[in-house]
Each structure stands twice: as C-alpha cells, then as structure tokens.
Structure 1
Amino acid sequence: MTVPGRRSSTFTRLLRHGFTDPSAAERLLDLPDMSSVRGDPVLLDALGAASDPDLALRGLVRLVEAQDPVERQTLLGTLVSAKPLRDRLIGVLGASEALGDHLARHPRDWHALVTYEAADLHPGVEEFERGLADATDPVTLRIAYRRCLLSIAARDVCGTTDVAQAAAELADLATATLRAALAIARTAAPADAAQCRLAVIAMGKCGGHELNYVSDVDVIFVGEPVEGADESKAMQAATRLASHLMRICSETTIEGTIWPVDANLRPEGRNGPLVRTLSSHLAYYQRWAKTWEFQALLKARPVAGDPMLGEEYVEAVSPLVWQAAERENFVADVQKMRRRVVDNIPVAEVHRELKLGPGGLRDVEFAVQLLQLVHGRSDATLHSGTTLKALQSLAAGGYVGRADAAQLDAAYRFLRAMEHRIQLYRLRRTHLVPEDEADLRRLGRSLGLRTDPVAELNKEWKRHASVVRRLHEKIFYRPLLDAVAQLAPGETRLSPKAAGQRLEALGYADPAAALRHLEALSSGVTRKAAIQRTLLPVLLGWFADSADPDAGLLGFRKVSDALGKTPWYLRLLRDEGAAAENLARVLSAGRLAPDLLLRAPEAVALLGDPEGLGPRGRDALEQEILAAVGRAETTEGGVASARGVRRRELFRTAAADLIGSYGTEDSPAEADPGALVDRVGNAVTDLNAATLAGALRAAVREQWDDTLPTRFAVIGMGRFGGHEQSYGSDADVLFVHEPREGVDDQEATRAANTVIAEMRRLLQLPTADPPLLIDVDLRPEGKSGPMVRTLASYEAYYRRWSLVWESQALLRAEPMAGDADLGRRFVELVDPLRYPAEGLGEDAVREIRRLKARMESERLPRGADPTLHTKLGRGGLSDVEWTVQLFQMQHGWAEPGLRTTRTRHALAAAHAAGLISTEDAQILDEAWVLATRVRNGVMLVRGRAGDTFPSDGRELGAVGRYLGYGPGRVGDMLDDYRRTTRRARAVVEELFYGA
C-alpha cells in the first residue's frame, strides 16, 4: 500500500515521538473530533512526552468524544492555549488507564486539572475536605475521591511534587475521605452518633503520611460513651458507626471501591472487638501486646472523629511505644519478623517484589523503625511516623551515617516512585514489577528514563535495591543496637548526675575522672559529640566488664582525641560489625595493646573488618617492609618504617588474642587456648623475621648498595626458631656467611660484622615501641666467640668442639632472613648434630639432666615462687621443653615427625610414635599452653615481659580475665595453674629424670 505524503510524514513524526503503534495513532488522529490535535505540533509534542503516548492519545480521544459539542471546543481550545492543563491532562492519560476511564465516565472532571495556583501545588486535608464536601453516599464519595486523585496524579507525573509530597497528599486525601465517610455514617444513624465519642486512628502508611495510590488504609477505632450514656450500649453504637464507615470505603459500587479499610492492627486482631475504650486499649498493650504491635503504633495518628479522644489515645500509647525496646529479645524479635516476611514471599515473585523482597521498601522501613525504637527512648527528635523524616533525624543525630542516609533516601524515593507508577496505571494494589515489555517501557518513561527505558529501569532498580540490601544488613543487624536496647531507661543519654551514679555502680575506681572523660567526649552540639553520646553508654558497660574500667575509658578518650578529625573513626564504631565492642575489650585489657594503638591509631580500622584481625603471612609482611625500606631516604628512616609496620602488626596480633580470649556478642571466646597460643607465636615470629629482613636490607644498602661481598643468613634460635615468641621476646639468632667468588675471607668477615653491627644499631635506636633485641649468646663459644662465622667455620667447630647443650640448642635452628640457600645448607650441616644417629648415649643424657637440674637451682630468681614461675618453675615451660627435646635428640634420627623446631608439634609427633602416652602428652601440652598464655597475658596487661603472675591485684585480675576467669576468681586461677603444672612436673620426673 502506498502511503500518502501527509500521512507518511505524520507516521514518521509519531514514531519519533515515541508512539509504538503509529498506524493506530494515525487512525485516531484522522477522526473528525481530533482534527485540531492532528495539525498542532504542540499537542503532538505533549503526547510524545507522556509515559505512554499511545495510551495518552486513546484516553484523549475517549475524553473528547464524551464531551458535548460546546464542552468539546472548550476542552480542545484550553489544551492548545494552556500549557499547565495540557501537561497535566496528557500526563495523567499517559500514565493511568484507570483515571482515563474515570474521565471518560465523568467528562467534566477535567476541569479539576485547570487550576494552577501556588496554593494548589500541595493541598492539605482542608482542601481535600472541600473537594469531598458534596458527597452524600458511597457512590458520590467515590467520584469525588477520584476527582481529587486526578489532581494528585497530575502533580506527580508532571514533577511539580516529589514522591514524598505525593504520598503525604494521598494520606491527607485518605484522612478527608475517612472524615467524609464517618459523616455519612453519622447522618445515617444519628441515634448512634449521639451515644458515643468515636476516634479513628490511622496506622501504617496512612498514619505515617506516606500512603500509596492504592493501599489498604489501616485504622484503629477508639470509643467512649458520652456523658450519662451506658458504656455497653455506647460501644455497640460506636461499633455500628465504625462498621458503616468501613463499608462506605470498602464496598464495591457502580464506581468501584475507594480502598479497603483494614482494622486488623487492633488489639487481638480480627478476634478482638472492632472498637474499644481507651482504658481497654491500654490494658491490652500493657499486658498482652507483642513486639510488632508497638512497632505498628509508631505510626499511629488521629485522623477522624473525636479529635480530643484521638489525641488522648496517642498520648497514652506513646510512652509504651518508646519503652518497647526494653522488652526482652526486642531487637532479635524485630529482626526475626523481617526475615519471616521475606521467607513468606512466593519464590516465583521474590525477584519482582518492590515492597517485601530483599532490597525492597520494607528493608528501609524496618531498619529506620528499629533505630527509632532503640534510640528514640531518649531522643524525641526521632518520634516521627514518616520514614524519610525519621531517616533524616537519624542522620542528624548521628545514629546513621550521612552518606548512608542519603543513599537510603534516594533509593527509597526511587522505589516508592516505581511503586506509585505501577499502581497508578490501573489503580490496583500491587507491589510487583511487571514483566511485560510494554508495561516496563511505560514505567521507565514515567520515571524520566527515555533513551532505553526498559534497560535503564532495570539497571536503576537493581542498583537501588542492592544499596538498600547492603545498608539494611549493615544497619538492621548492627550489634550495637542490641546493646543499646538492653540499657536501662535513662542510661542511653546520661546526665552528669546519672552518669556519676552509674559509673560508681559499674565499678569505676575514679568516677570523677571518668565523668570528666565523658564530658570531654560528648559535650557540645557537633555531630561527633552526638555519635559519642550514642556510643558511650554501651561502651561504659563493656569497659566495666573488665578488670580496669578506668583504663579502658581513658584509652578510649586518648584514641578519640587522636582520631577526632578522622571522619571514618566514629562511623566505624557505630556501623561496622563488632568494632565498638572489640575496641572496648582491647582498651580495657591492659597496657600493651592501647599503647600500640595510640602510636598507630589508624589501626582501629582493623577492629571493624571481620578478616582484619587474621594474621598476615611472613611473605606479605616481608614484602611490605622491604618496600618501605627501599622507599626511605635514609637507613634510619627505613627501619622506622619497618617499625611502623611491626607496631601495627603487633596490635593486630594482640587485639586478635584479646578478642579471641574474651569473645564478643558476635563471636564467643576461642574454645582452644592452644590455637590462640600458636597464632600468637607464629604471628610474632613471622613479624620479627620480616623486621630483621628489613633491618638487613637497610644495613646492606647503606654501604654496599644491596650487594654484600658475602652471602649472609640469619638463623633463628630458641623461641624465635621455634615459632613460639611472645610479644616481648628477644630474637635469639646465629649469623652465618660465605664469601662470594673473588672475595677473601677477611674482607667477607669484615663486611658481615659491619652488617651485624649496623642491624643491631638500627634496631636499638630509641623508640616507645616494644623493642626487638638481637641475642647471639647461643653462638659457638658463647659471648667470647666471634659474632659471625663462615659455614665452613661452623662445620669445623661443631665437628671438633661442639657440646651436648649446643646440639640441644640447635633443635630450634631455622633460617629467618638473608640468603635462603645458605640458610638451607646451614640446616643440613647441623641436622646430624641435633638428631644424632642411633640417638644419645647415656653420658649425653646424664649431661642434659645435670644441666637442667643446675638451671633449676641457679637461675630461678631469688624469692620467686617455684610453683608460679612460668619459665623455670615446677611443670613450666622449661620442664616441658627439655622433656620434648630429649625425645627429639634420642629418636629424631628414626622419627621424621620429631624433626621440627616447634615444641607442640614435636610433642604430638612423640605421642604419634608411641613414645609418650595420650594422658601424659595431654598433661604436658596443657601445662605448656597455660604457661605460655600466662606469659602472653602478663605482657598484654603490664606492657612489659614477666615470667610470673603480677603482684598488683588489678593486674592479676586482668590476667585472670584474659585466661577466662571472671571477677573474684583470681584464687581459682592460681589454684588451677598450680594443679596443672604439678601434674606436668610429675610427668617430667618420670620421663625426663627417669624417676
């Protein structure tokens, strides 16, 4: 078929304007009544701007055809001349088939869209009441309601009101409609109206001023008899009025329904009376109400009926709402309820659910409501039933990060806009995103997405849903919430008097000083102070759950002062996992971790990362340290950088140790003390090895530009070689070198000694960090022997002069830094000495026993209690280690499992080889782990190493907490230590001394 030129041009224009069926549109424009539209480019542009141009044109044709001739000319003339009407009418017709149907049935209602005054932009209840004033029955009320709805939809689709204002206008229209319906019910039953006072309380989205286009309107009815009336008869009359109101709004008429009025949020739900007196409501809420009912009451708002009674109801239930968070398991109950909602969504619909699904509107609403109910007990600014206003208040008060609040606000507005436009199309109650391509196209265009509406819509929807889900998980399941909810009334925002009383009750030794810290941290109107006021009541309790609450609070103030201008610090404590509780545990557990943290306060960030406290491997540490040394301009600067890494990593290890020992709400205490000990030993050993590698690189670079004339290796000995170091351990080492080709022995030895001297100098520069001292006393000939030897010199010495104690010391030898091949060859050299073929002779065994007995008698400090000395005391570290080392030297040649530098590994291998019984192995392992943990605990608590329990009562209590003993159980701790080591000593007497 040949298309005439004019029609071909129109067809092309229609296609360009977004019509999906230009042929059908051409036919409609060819109708006689549409001649003025067809030739008017302004009207075609307006149709093309609609969400669905085809739908808008069909609706406009139906509206024009429904007019009488005079009205038709008026309508068409006004459309051409008045842009506000043109945009509003065509915008509504292109977005809502249902409102197009209404206009076709009531063709003069288009006049409701003509007015465009400033006062018309955001009408309230009074304006809507005037619009409904002539309604005298359900049918006329329905028509008037739709007429008012037209103006709301017009402002919405034209963008002269935003989604929150549109939702508020819909709630105001619902309020006016409930009042009109109640007036109709009263007029129909004046006798009932005369007997009672009836108040209608809006709940849910209507109560929160955030109603949808199509939604149940949730209400609660409160009734009271008028003065002199019988209460029973008055309540019956009130029930009849309430029932009639519900029928007027809910029943289907020739004009359809308005919306269902749902009273199921009332006490006892459907099983309870429709109307109760105020006292009956209160009695129910005080005795029987469930957590979700108080959450629902957060949005309660009187909207119709007796205004005084409505206000009395809200005033009476409001205190109950803001006490709900004090209920047992409140936070867990709310969280469980949200999960239950998601679980009940049909699987086929969950990915399309805008409201209830993950990342949907309910995720925002539940998170906001939970925060309101927890923090609103002490902050009246949070008492809003409107989600976005409450979110704004939460951000202003510091309960939610401003960036998080802004993202939630934007996502909520987008999702609500989607919901509005989906419902507006046919005015049906739905929260499912359509699947049909045409529906998605119209929906995308209605939201301003015009290039590729369907693809852009899906992208934006998924992006916002992802943001909501992430922030919901972060905020809704925030550990701090449950801790705040468990505080007693009045504790969430402490006055100076209340704070002083609480500090004393919590066991702070110096409440006055603690109060000064609180005032310094939380006074003022800054956002930082507001967040501190939220954190501190909970932190005070966590500090109090330690041996030294005062130290914990002082440490927190110092860290807060150091990071005061860092935007992420308080946000981390408020939002991220168990960061706040972890920090409280670390700061109140002793001196070492807080001292490390105050020198590297940015390490607080580690406490908020679930993976942040895991130990880093030696390769990663060495790579970081060597890179830092390489970047530094001086050797001193390079080693200072290495120390900075060591400081941070020591804090990481100490924090993980403390948190693993104490546990948190999210993570209970570590069940296996041996795992904690191994983790600390490995982490500190790897860190010290990496630090030595950095010092070696710095020393070599200073004089030889990274190429030393001799190959050089650092061999770990003692606890260093055994991967059993504590926080304050020295690094026992041997140094070995081998001249490079063409370098004579004297030059090579001078270079090696120079490197050693420089390494020791650099590591001994004054610093507040825990020192890393190099100890070379285990070298051949001890203090009188050379500091470093060639591999050949070691071989000659060990072949001719080696004593049995030196072979025993070499059991812990392991390369730690420097030339890896040289280190490997050193180990191959000493293996025959430490694991002698056919084991030890009787003379060697007697010598080892003699040395051990001499050490016990001579090296135990004067006055030390041998039952409590962890290293040299009865059943302590030395007892277990010498026993295990005797097994290694006797049987290592035959049992490969014994060829290890690690005590616990060797003990396990001896058990596996049948050299020691299960019971004896467990006794020795338990004693060794306990003694090691005591040494670690003493260092953590006092900030300096010690081999016995502290004498100071508070420090002793802190060590007890570290070992898992609660307040008042120090005596049990000491008794248990003595019992454990006494049993170990009995095993040592038998296995080591042959008793």
Structure 2
Amino acid sequence: MSLPLLADLPAVLLPLVTRAQQSFRAALVSLTEAGQATFDAWPAERLAAFDRVCAASDFVADQVSRDPQMLLDLAESGELERGYKAGELRQQMAVAVQEAASDDELGRNLRRQRTRQQVRIIWRDLTRQADLVETCRDLSDMADGSIDLAYQWLYERHCQQFGTPTGRRSGEPQHMVILGMGKLGAVELNLSSDIDLIFAYPEGGETQGVKRPLDNQEFFIRLGQRLIKALDPVTVDGFVFRVDMRLRPYGSSGALVLSFNALEQYYQDQGRDWERYAMIKARVVGGDQAKGDELLEMLRPFVYRRYLDFSAIEALRTMKQLIQQEVRRKGMAANIKLGSGGIREVEFIAQAFQLIHGGRDLSLQQRPLLKVLRTLDGQGYLPSAVIDELRQGYEFLRYTEHAIQAIADRQTQMLPEDDRDQARIAFIMGFADWNSFHEKLMYWRGRVDWHFRQVIADPDEEEGQEDGGEEIVGGEWLPLWEESQNEESASLQLQEGGFSDAQKALKHLSNLRNSSQLRSMQRLGRERLDAFIPRLLAQAVEHSNPDLVLERVLPLVEAVARRSAYLVLLTENPGALRRLLTLCAASPWIAEQIARFPLLLDELLNEGRLFSPPQALELGAELRERLTRIPEDDLEQQMEALRHFKLAHSLRVAASEITGSLPLMKVSDYLTWLAEAILEQVLALAWRHTVARHGAPRRPDGTVCDPGFVIVGYGKVGGIELGHGSDLDLVFIHDGDPQAETDGAKPIDGAQFFTRLGQRIIHLITTQTNSGQLYEVDMRLRPSGASGLLVSSLGAFSRYQENEAWTWEHQALVRARVLVGSTDVGHGFEAVRAAVLGRERDLGTLRQEVSEMRAKMRDNLGTKGTTAGKGANAFEATASFDLKQDAGGIVDIEFMVQYAALAWSREHPALLRYTDNIRILEGLEQAGLMPAADASLLREVYKAYRSAAHRQALQKDAGVVSGDQFVAERREVMRIWAQLGLS
C-alpha cells in the first residue's frame, strides 16, 4: 500500500506534529543532555516516521512524552525498524514478570511492557514497516506472553497459599488450561482487541500440602480471578488486555472454571451453533499446553461434524441477522467490522466453509482467516478471483481498523465523524483526502457484501428477488405435503405437474411421511424436511419423468432424514438438488449409492468438478494430500478417507458417463487409475504398519526391502477395463529372503512378514466401515489358487508359472500387470511374464485347451441354447443375450486375444507390451496376424458390448440384453472364432 510523503500531511494534521514535537522535546529535558542529543541525531527517515506516527496517533504521542526514554531505547535497539525473532517478545516480558515481587508489581510491570510494545507495534504498523500479519502476530504474542507468564507466576504463589491441586483419578498435579478464543485464538488480534478466554482444568480433586485443602475447582476459580485482575483493570499504568469471559459455558452466570468432563458434557448436550463458530478459533494460550491439546481434541467432534453440515449456514445467517438488527438499532452502519460488507462478513464466509466441510476436509481445520482463504482457493471451494477480492477487501478493512484504533488506543471499529480524525485515517491509508479513501472503502465493502450474499444468502430470498415475489420456493406444494388439501386436489395437482400415476406418487409421499424414521425425528429435523419436500416436488415436475424421479429420490430422503443437515445441503443449494434429480433419474445405481452414502451429496455442489474427473497423476496427488492431513496413527480416519475418495470419484465418473462427457474407454481408464491411486496408498499404510511392528525384511543379498513387493492386477484391473462395482483380481509378489529375520523389536522371518503385509492390505481394502469397503478382492489367481500362499516370492511365482500353471492361468497372465510397488520387483515380474507367455507352444494343443475351457464356462455361466463353437452358421437366436458369457460375447473376444498372445508372442513379442484387449488387437493387426477388417470389427464389437454392460450396471440390471440385440455382431465374432481354429 503506497504511503504519502511527509510533505503530503494534510494541513489539519500539522498542528498535531508541532505539538507532539514540542511535548516530546519538553519531556527530554528531564533526561540527560545525551538523551536530547540522541533524538536530534536520529536519521531523517526516523524523524519523518516520528512526525507521521504522532500525527496519526494521540496514544503514541502521549506515551512517548510520558516516557521519552522508552522511545529512545526502542530506537537505539533497532526495534522500531526490525521485526522480532520467534520468542523475543515473550523473553522481554518474562524478564519484567520475574522482577515482580507482588501481585500489584506484576500488574504494573505487565502494563508497562504492554505500553512499550504497543508503541513499537503501532509505530511499525503506521509506517508500514510491518505488514498486517506481523502486526497481528506481535499483538497476539504479547497477549500469549502476558497470559501465560502471569499465570505461571500466580500459580506458584497460589499453590504456596492453598496447596497443589491434584487429580483424584490420576494423582497428578493439575494445571489450568487457558483457551484463547476469537482473534486471539487465530493470532489475529487488532491494535485494541479485548481477549476472549475460557478457563478449564483436567480433573476433579483437591489441593495437597496444606492443612485445609481446597476443591480443585475452587482453587482454579480463585486463581482465574487473580489472573483477570492482573490483566484487566485500568490503573495509572493503563491496562494489559481487557478480558472477556462470556464465551464460557453458561456465559456470565456459569462457573469461571470447569473441568474437562464438564466442558465436554456441556458442549455435547447444550452447545449452540454460535459456540461451534467460536470454538473454530480456540487455541491454548496459557497453562498446560499438552492437556490443552487433549481438551481441544475432545471438543473437536462438537466443532467439526463428520458429515457435510449445511445447517451451519442457517446458524451463521441467524447470527448475521441479529448483528444487522443491532447495527440498525444502534445506528452502526459506519462500523467496518459489523456493518454491511465488514470484517465479520469475510470471517463468516470462511467459517461457513469450515463448519460445513471441515469435519471431512482437515485442511480447513485452521484458525487464521487468511490461511483458510488460501485453502478455499487451493481446494477449489471458491474461484481464485473471489478469494483475491475477499483477501484484498479483508486486508483493507483490517488496516482501516488499525488506523482507527491507533488514534487513541480505543476498542472501536466506527468510522470517525470528526474532520481531523477522518484526515488521519485517509492519511494513514495513503489517500489524499477522506472522500477518496471513503470511496475505496465503500468499493471493498460492496464487494465483500456481494460475495457474502452468494454464500450466506437465503435461497428463498434469492428466488423471490428473481421472481419479483416473496413466496418460498416450491410453496405451492406445501399443502400437498402437509395434507392440508384433500386427496382429489392433491392428485389433480400432481397430474397437472406431469405425474403419470398421481396415486402412486401420493402413496410414496405418504409412506415417507408415516415412516418410522420421520416419526422419531426431532422438531428441527422435521422443519427442515418440511422446507425441503416442496422444493423437491417443484424440481421433480421439471423432469420428463417425475414419477421415476420421486420413486428414486425418496428412499434417499428417508435414509438421511435423521441427519437433516443433508436436507439443508440440498435446500441451500438448488443446483445440487437439480443435479441429484438428474443423476437419480438416469441411474438407479447412482441413486442407491447416494442413499447408502449420503456424504456423496458433497460432490453435487461443484458442477465443474462433478463432470470433470481428474487425470491419473492428479488423482494420486489428491489422495496423498488428503492422507497427509490425517495423523499416521489414526487408521480409522485413514480408511474412511480412502473410502470417501473412492466413492466420490466413482460418482464423478458415473455422472460424466451418464451425461456423455466421458466415453467408455475413458471411463475404464479413470476407474482403473482410481484403483491404482488407492492401492498405492493402501500399500504404503500397510507397509508402515507392518514395519512399525516387526521391522523391515531383507533381500537375499542382505539389503533392506523397501518395499521389495508388488501388487499385480489381473482381469479387468490388469486389462485397464474396470467397470462400476468391479472387484479386483490381485496377486502379491515379493523378492525378500523368506528365512531372514526382520530388523525390528519383534522380528519375524521374511515369509511371515510378507504374509502379514498381504493380510494387512486385504484388511484395509475389504473391511466394512461406515463408508462400506473399498473393493471386493479376489486372490484365486495366485499360484495354486485358494490353497496357495497368500504372497509368493518372485522365484516361486516363476517356477509355478513355468512348471505347474494351467493354460487358463497363462491366459490370465496375458492381462496381468504390476499396479503398484517396487520398480525392481516389477521389472522382475515383467521378465517372468514375457518368458512364460513367449515360450514355444503346440498350437493344436493350445487351441484344444482354450476351446475346452471356453466350453466349460459357457455351459456353466452362459444362456442355455447358444451353440457357439459348432460353426459360424450354427447360430441359434435366444430370448436373451448374456453380454459376457454367451456365444459371440465378451469372453469369446477375450479368449481369442489370449489365444493369439500365447500362440504368436514368441515370434512377435510386441504382443506382450500391453494388457488390454483393444491394443493387443491393434498389435495383431499391425503384425499381420489378423485381417485388418476382422481386428477392427472385434475392437468395435468389444467396445459396444462393454458400453452396453456399463449401461446395464448403471441401471442396476444384469449384463443381459434381449436376444434380438447384437445378432450380426455375435455372428461375426463366432465367424472369427472358427477361423482361428477354435471349436
């Protein structure tokens, strides 16, 4: 921010400079001549800064005249021109506290330190040598030091008088925990902030070491009163900080100090929305830091809900309305904190996202507002342009707030009406006059208010403004839902709205209304449901098939009725509701997924993100970032994060497929990339856990495995062809020494280690949590199948494939590839695969074995009546066609590809480069092993079959279509099957 030169001082401020200089020089007379000479010898820049600061701040001018030596000392030490190092401010205060011999002297020393620091901080702020963050940090450090140092000083003397408080359960000495709330908690104190505190202590008991013990609570109440007295009262030396204790449970009528259990019980049973809002910024500022961290962890579930909590917007909206009423009542429109477009609105915007999403997105669990804004930008909650405006507007408002408060060290955010003070504010903010400053201020307030309305505004108000009316959205459907009209009128309204079966729709609504879930709802939940259903009906009738929409969405409504915050999400976000209805109408699979896992509603909020799944590298990076925010020892939360990630991205892929923005091949790509990103993190988690218990295993050459392990994917995941709901065919391989012991405290041999690693991986993937399981896992393709070892060494895997594996296992190996794990072991696996698949084979025997295996599968799994394998012309039409198993279907194409790879890869090793059927068919064509027309036909038919199978899956139908579909395609597949000599 640009600063005016001293010559630009408004004329109205020049007398202030003259008076300040005269007063300061007069005060210097009381010092030595050296003191006067020191001031005269100041560099021009510092003298100009003196004039600037004294013109702007009566407080600084008065304090330096009262104690000129203080300013000279600050100048001589260089503290006016440099920022403090970490801990430097606290150290200065500690010296002052240690010198105190009584409570009165403690208060006096703290107040003098506060004055000294306040002069320094204002000086640096007004000369813009310190930015907003530094100024707020120094003020907050000063508060932290004052609180904690005074507490420690008082605690020692309090114990001497009343004994040491001791926990009844633990038997340990007890310390108080002092929570700083609001701006103090967020390290955002302004130049004249009060400090909001909450006092607590860990557990009940009584003091020890005295004849008449005190109850712990009584001990800490008296100690808390002494601490407040040390900080709050105004004396001849001023004050340290105004202390506000009204944020504690029960406010002014509550006990000054409560135990941890009492606090937890209060917030669990009686905690109100505004208290959640306040607790976001709670920070331990004094007392027992470790116990304080435990307390905040205890209270975290109260602040941050595990689900999306759009009820927070209701609470913030109510709070804002109360503030606006107070602003109007007291004529406070000029208040830059509470007025329209003020500081509080920026805070509300940030904290709305924190309260809504913070339970699941740990990156939002931060205190400083500017950091939260950066996270909202980085995580895509708000566009970068919006964040830039909010940040710039907030900084302008906070600098203005400091300018107002610097004048007289008064706690106010009201714009001055006095001409001289207005000139001061404009001058401090770098403007030529009040009008130009005020114009800029109102611009930023207007932008902040506009963004605030986009986030916090009531959807009914917004719709009403657009429609030119005051009616609630969907209000015309409210009588039908509340049964305040007769059945005939209700049926007619539904018919006119486009419902084909009005009676059935009424029945669905009646069943919901009378369900056990709704009968047991609390009043607030029922009110939210009553607000939501009319909106649902209003949007349902906009669809071509409202009957289907209602039938599929009402089970979701019933599923989330007891967690009505989800209803608020949809009420607050009409666009999300619109997308929900569209997707549910298109796919019962999506409707079921969202009903089972309502947390997926979050994905509907951002339309751009919903229909734009990320690329492979972005997927992996996003998941890693999510998991790094979770403590390493919190396995439950890690598993939930993995499952939510999978559910969310699966929905995004399905939504993109339904809307046509993602073609079939890309759908499979994304679902496969998703599985790989998840398996990468699952392996990392399992490895860390197993190594932590047993130490790391070793290779035969003695080097440490890290991890010396790979997860190999077969089938659909190996062939990059995952579909919705696909399971994972996996094989685990390692290159460790099975006999060598691990290097941990509880060593086990390498074979045991890798078995436990494999078991851990399967546990992480398949365990059912609140968010379901990650995938079904099939391990039957490992050597010797279900009877074989869970994890094979690379050597054992090679020997099995060379000497014992059946032809069908080699067929499966065609589609096998390393998904995640050690690069070296991966190369080893690729070498084994190439050697096994590329060995010389008797083609007659190969054709026979492939044909026999296909016949068995068709007999057991296909539709009866198909006659594939007995000639291309022997096609028998059936009533239905199993896309996968019937003659001419998906498996026939897969078997032809596998046969070709086994038959010809010895002469054409390029056939082994890829594991997906499409690119292997391209390789057969390029090698001249299959006519181009046939290879192209098989590729197109294969994609058509899989596309149909995907559609069936999204409709929750089996992969079976009517027998009159794909007739020509089936004949052609069977023809090529016969030409390859398969029977």
TM-score range, shorter chain: 0.3 to 0.5
Which structure: larger Rg? 1
TM-score by length of 2: 0.46
TM-score by length of 1: 0.45
